[in-house]
Amino acid sequence: MTGRQGDRESEAIVVSSFKNPEAALNIPWAGVDQWRQVNQQYVLLIETYTGQLEPLQAIADSITADLSALDPIMEALCAKTCSHCPDPCCIGAKIWYDFNDLLYLHLAGEPISASQLICTRDQICPGWTPTGCRILRQRRPWICTWYLCPAQTAQIEHPEHTTRMLISSHSANIKTNRRQMEEHFIRMLTSV
Ligand code: SF4
Ligand code: SF4
């Protein structure tokens, strides 16, 4: 196999992983080999397209900035609600890294975990501890920061609550940037 053929096959696998409708029903890359392969493919693609990555890296930097700004805000909110929570969401949640989470982690140069967060639906997220998540915010799936439980929503109920406005603004930036990152990446892979 030539290097270019290998590159094209890697592109096809990543694109089809993203577009596969089954992905919504199954935990993606749950096997150790699948996880290793998909991450090798991201590394290979990023190396292959290194000269075209500047816009993507700018988007990833912007996501990092918004996540960093959100972290103390979310930690303060969690401090008010999570320590006495009767039913911690992370125990029951079925959370895994998706296509954009992994793309962001690779572009941002963050270390990649040894496996998908959970490999079966009966597992508890390994990030959970009784005192909070042990995974740095930038390295968590985006949904972990995006999600506000009812107790947290109640804390910032007023539409002009400063915390609510800050969360809303940073989250909107991240959502837009994740969408643009995905679109730009797919366009880059599929352009001839
Ligand atoms: S985010 Fe909400 S549901 Fe989850 S642990 Fe904190 S208080 Fe409980
Ligand atoms: S990564 Fe952290 S915040 Fe997300 S589900 Fe796991 S323990 Fe909860």
Q: What is the pLDDT of residue 121?
A: 87
CA 100 – CA 182 distance, rounded (Å): 6
Eight-state DSSP code of residue 50:
G
- Amino acid letter, 121: R
HSE of 96, CA atoms in CB hemisphere, 13 A: 22
Q: Are the beta carbons of 116 and 123 closer than 8 angstroms?
A: no
CA 117 – CA 127 distance, rounded (Å): 8
Q: Which atom of ligand 2 is nearest to the CA of 132?
A: 7
Structural domain range at position 48: 3-190
Pocket test for ligand 2, best of 77, 78, 125, 131 (most atoms within 8 A of CB): 125
Structure tokens at 96: 């895994």
Q: Which atom of ligand 2 is nearest to the CA of 128?
A: 7
CA 71 – CA 138 distance, rounded (Å): 9
Digit-by-digit pLDDT tens for the chain (192 residues) are 334 444 455 455 444 444 443 444 589 999 999 999 999 999 999 999 999 999 999 999 999 999 999 999 999 999 999 989 999 999 999 999 999 999 999 999 999 999 999 999 899 999 999 999 999 999 999 999 999 999 999 999 988 889 999 999 999 999 999 999 999 999 999 985
CA 29 – CA 34 distance, rounded (Å): 5
Q: What is the value of pTM for the model shown?
A: 0.87
The count of domains in the chain is 1
